Structure 1
Amino acid sequence: MSTMAPIARNALSALRIAIVAPSLDILGGQGVQARSLAQALGSDGFEVLFIPVNPRFPQGLRWLRRVPVARTLLNQCLYLAKLFKLRHADVVHVYSASYWSFLLAPAPAILVSRWFGKPVILNYHSGEAEDHLATWGLRVHPWLRRVDEIVVPSVYLQNVFARHGYRARVVRNIIDTSGFHYRERSQLRPRLLSNRNLEAHYGIGTTLKAFALLRKQWPQARLKVAGYGSERARLEEWVRSERLDGVEFVGRIEPEAMPRLYDEADIFVNASVIDNQPISILEAFAAGLPVVSTPVGDIPAMLRNQQNGTLVPRDDPSAMAAAIILLLDAPGEAVTMARNARAEVEQYTWAEVRSAWTDLYRNQSEAAAPL
């Protein structure tokens, strides 16, 4: 476990770090990562100013969340007002996705930070980076050139940025493994878990089709689908139309309840077609679940086939079902892969990434300090 000398730690702890990111009112990877980082920095004595890109509406105006254009306008007004708090920060850490989300959230934060003369770290997380950087031109590149540092969680994204002429630093995502109960499943049951939001690029439809094939050989199999999103109604209708038993859509699960969800399952499945470094796979590693996943984004670097998980081609329900059946038929091999995955996930703990963030904050703060 990495440690910091007392003098250096006291100096760093005096820094004020502003984190601009989604709150957990939008349950997703960025919000979870931002909260984890803020909590870790706070426990180390840093002063953390959290600015949500999705501020809560005043009570009398919360109904506007159901009105598309109006909610965006009000959200931006409230968000821009909160950005003036950045004048109190020593370093501004901005979480970023792609496309319109980039323009609505990171871009204003970059602009206001520059106005106040604050160093800006852009922490880019989207698996859609290649298309975003290739097709959005003046809507993305001028902003990228105005930040002091681009940080990404994976070598996969680092390579994407390099292809577009940017130097990006890799700092892995964070997971608190102590929150998860590691359990070896020597008796592997056909209890599957999918924990991705219900959007097209996460391939939940492929997962459901694979499960339907699995049920033909393992009729007692069960699948819990956690998450929410625009695809839910269509996916539920498909399950009804196929008369597919054993599927439970459990909806939004708060982070505090997530460990129990993993503990109740025996196999984790992921069929995403666009991705980066999924927190859900790291959580499965921490809980001891063998993982079957498609090899997109940074997943092949996280999950080495037949060593700490199983990789299957994207958009291939038959291959996914076959991989699950192999695990069920060879639980000893599944346990070995789960053990390897549990060792792998230690690279993503705060103890391992702490110095990467604290050194970066210190360097940016010192570079911005007046001579």
Structure 2
Amino acid sequence: MSVPMSGQAINAGRGTGHVLLVGPLPPPAGGMANQCEQLLRLLRAEGLEVRHLRTNPPYQPAWVGRIPMLRAAVRLFGYLLAARRALRGARVVHIMANSGWAWHLFVLPVAQLALAARVPLIINYRGGLADEFLSEGPAHVRRLLARADLRVTPSGFLQRVFAKHGLSADVIPNIIDLSRFQPRMPREFGAAPVLLVARNLEPIYDNATAIRAFAALRRHFAQARLIVAGEGPELARLQALSAELGLAQAVEFAGRIANADMPALYQRADCVLNASTVDNMPISILEAFASGVPVVSTAAGGIPDLVEHGRSGLLVPIGDAAAMAAAALSVLSDTALARQLRGAGLQEAARYDWAAVRPLWLGAYECLARGVSPAGSAA
């Protein structure tokens, strides 16, 4: 795959036109929305002409969003009209994709329009449930993926899942903007370390296990505090669990934190806990690395591709609160171990800076805009 020096190299290629980037934007904040917002900004800064088709625009008028069937119809109708307009003159269509209803509502229609118009198509699949979706979903999901000019996943984990289903994919990792994060200096926390969970409050992230691990850790650090940054349907259950464990005053449910405010949150943390049961390449772990905060995580999905146990973080079995507590205790009690994890995490974060990821995306766009098949595109 050839690599352009800048976005102008693509714009100056055969014909005129733009890259159409399809995906969500915050709010609400989330991995894919934050990545889409960041990629859009960085590509435009490269001088590339990029138009954006938002998959989660606010409802107009706002009251439509309170009526389930109506809001789905209104959003889909408006989305299809916007997609037709945005496709005019596009040289490459890049769709950020996930599984479930989001695939059928937002990926399928635009992908079919792009294929019908013979516009080169990138499907950038990012869901941790890829294996289940490809195994149990309708056959047209696999057929559509096979017709894409390029399939991109952010991790080797998803690349292996695709290969299991007879589909090749290129790996272009998630991006961390290192200019936003400053490595925190180790501090003397005594009996009062601060732990951080930066995942939404959804069942797949199993924040209950992180809270139980924190309860066990408090036996060693009596004044320890836990910040849970995220929102979701599990809030009431997690608050009740904290109260049941006697942690009501020790656990802070911070709610949704704006992406711009996340660096300051990591500056408060001495250790990050991640208890997810399904995962791909969590941005929260990359952000912890970039902030110099040691990470204790489950080994779910693609996390072992990102975190090397004992070098850049500590990995524990899914659902094992005792193992998570023991790992966190090691990090907080052993300054040499914490220092080593910080250093390795910072080195790992550098691999996902825009300077490292930039040539991969620009190279993919340039190949497709010039009618060259990128290396990983054959089914």
Q: TM-score, normalised by structure 2?
A: 0.92
Contact preservation (8 Å) 2:55, 2:79: yes
- Structure 1 distance, partners of 2:345, 2:8, is 36
Q: Which residue of 2 aligns with 1:366?
A: 370
State the SS of the aligned residue for 2:360: helix
- Structure 1 distance, partners of 2:146, 2:109, is 14
Q: 1:15 to 1:279 in 2, by over 3 A?
A: farther
Q: 1:7 to 1:323 in 2, by over 3 A?
A: closer
> Is 1:305 equivalent to 2:309 in the alignment?
yes
Task: Give the counterpart letter for 2:267 in structure 1.
Answer: D
Q: Which residue of 1 aligns with 2:135?
A: 134
Deviation at 1:8, TM superposition (A): 3.8
> Is 1:243 equivalent to 2:243 in the alignment?
no
- Structure 2 distance, partners of 1:7, 1:320, is 48
Q: What is the correspondence of 1:278-357 to structure 2 with a 5 Å cutoff?
A: 278-357=282-361
Deviation at 1:305, TM superposition (A): 1.0
- Structure 2 distance, partners of 1:54, 1:300, is 31
Deviation at 1:365, TM superposition (A): 1.1
Deviation at 1:68, TM superposition (A): 2.2
> Is 1:65 equivalent to 2:65 in the alignment?
yes
Contact preservation (8 Å) 1:186, 1:335: no
Q: 1:34 aligns with which of 29, 33, 36?
A: 36
Contact preservation (8 Å) 2:6, 2:46: no
> Is 1:203 equivalent to 2:212 in the alignment?
no
Q: 1:92 to 1:228 in 2, by over 3 A?
A: same
State the SS of the aligned residue for 1:216: coil
Deviation at 1:186, TM superposition (A): 4.9
- Structure 2 distance, partners of 1:133, 1:9, is 33
Q: What is the correspondence of 1:1-371 to structure 2 with a 5 Å cutoff?
A: 4=5, 8=9, 11=12, 16-58=18-60, 61-84=61-84, 85-187=86-188, 190-244=193-247, 245-367=249-371
Give a deviation string over 1:77-119, Cα, whole Å, max 9, x none. Answer: 1111110111231100000011111111111110121232211
Contact preservation (8 Å) 1:22, 1:31: yes
Deviation at 1:139, TM superposition (A): 4.5
Deviation at 1:3, TM superposition (A): 8.0
Contact preservation (8 Å) 2:4, 2:363: no
Give a deviation string over 1:103-148, Cα, whole Å, max 9, x none. Answer: 1111111012123221110000001001000001325122212311
- Structure 1 distance, partners of 2:142, 2:331, is 45
Deviation at 1:331, TM superposition (A): 1.8
Segments of 5+ residues of structure 1 without an aligned counterpart are none
Q: Which residue of 1 aligns with 2:377?
A: none
State the SS of the aligned residue for 1:196: coil
Q: 1:213 to 1:254 in 2, by over 3 A?
A: same
- Structure 1 distance, partners of 2:254, 2:7, is 46
Q: Which protein has greater RCO, CA pairs closer than 8 Å, 6+ apart?
A: 2
Q: 1:328 to 1:358 in 2, by over 3 A?
A: same
Segments of 5+ residues of structure 2 without an aligned counterpart are 374-379
RMSD between aligned alpha carbons? 2.0
Greater CA drift, 313-322 or 295-304: 295-304
Aligned length: 366
Greater CA drift, 277-286 or 96-105: 96-105
Q: 1:96 to 1:210 in 2, by over 3 A?
A: same
More helix by share: 1
Give a deviation string over 1:139-161, Cα, whole Å, max 9, x none. Answer: 51222123111100001000000
Contact preservation (8 Å) 2:197, 2:227: yes
- Structure 1 distance, partners of 2:8, 2:231, is 46
Deviation at 1:7, TM superposition (A): 7.8
Greater CA drift, 175-184 or 274-283: 175-184
- Structure 2 distance, partners of 1:200, 1:109, is 30
Task: Give the counterpart letter for 2:183 in structure 1.
Answer: Y
- Structure 2 distance, partners of 1:151, 1:6, is 19
State the SS of the aligned residue for 2:184: coil
Identity, in percent, stands at 39
